[in-house]
Amino acid sequence: MHDAVCAALGLSGEQPVRGGCIHQCYRAALAGRPVFLKLNEARYADAFAAEADGLRALRRAGARAPEPIGHGVAGGEAYLLMEWLEIGSRGDFAALGTMLAATHRAHSDRYGWPRDNYIGSTLQENAPCAGWAEFWRRRRLEPQLALASRNGYRLEAPPVWRLLEGHKPAASLIHGDLWSGNAGFLADGAPVLFDPAVYYGDREADVAMTELFGGGYLVQVRATLRLLARVL
C-alpha cells in the first residue's frame, strides 16, 4: 500500500527504515529533499495530526524537532510526512537536558492542551483543568482505570491523586512521552526530540517518564534537569 501513498504524495526512492513503533516508516525523497514517512491504517489519521501539532509546539518553544511537512490520508492509508534527520542515540546529554528545560519555560495558566493526543494508539485526554491534582486525576488516572475495566481488569485504586493536593507547579509545556526512544542526537551531537504527546503540566512528569523501561542513558538528562530546576 505504501506505493499508492508515495505516488499520491509525489515521493520517490522510498526505503523501509527503523522507528515508529506501531507504524511503518520509510525514507523517501520529495522534490529531491530527503523526508521521513510514517504510515498506518486510515484510523490513525488523527494520531498523526496530533503528532504534527506536538512537533510544531516543541519547535515554537525552541526545541529541535523534525519539521512536519504534511499529514492526512492518501492511497487508503494515514500518513505523516516529516523532515528527515540522521538521528543516533549518543551525543550531548547536558544539551538535551538544557533544551528540555528551556521548553519547560513555555507556560500556560491552565493544565492540558487544546486537543487530545496519543500515547502509542491510546488516546490521551487533554481537556484543560485549573488544578494539577484535578488534571492528573481526571485526564490521566481515571481514563487508565476505565481502560483497564473495559479490558476485564478491575482495579481498586486508592485515591493517590490526594498526594498532589496543595501541589501547584507551573503549567509547563512538556514532551509528554519522554522515554529513551523519543529523543536522540544528530551527527554533531546536538539533541533532537520526536514522537511527542505534548500538554501543559508539571515538568516533573517529563523527568518521571525518562524512568520508563529503565531510562538507561537518560539518567544524565534527569541530572541536568534537576540541576537547572534549582536556578530557573
Catalytic residues: 177
d(CA 42, CA 31): 25
Cell of 231: 536556578
Q: What backbone phi and psi angles, to 5 degrees, belong to 154?
A: -100, 115
Measured from the Cβ of residue 180, the count of other Cβ atoms closer than 10 Å reads: 18
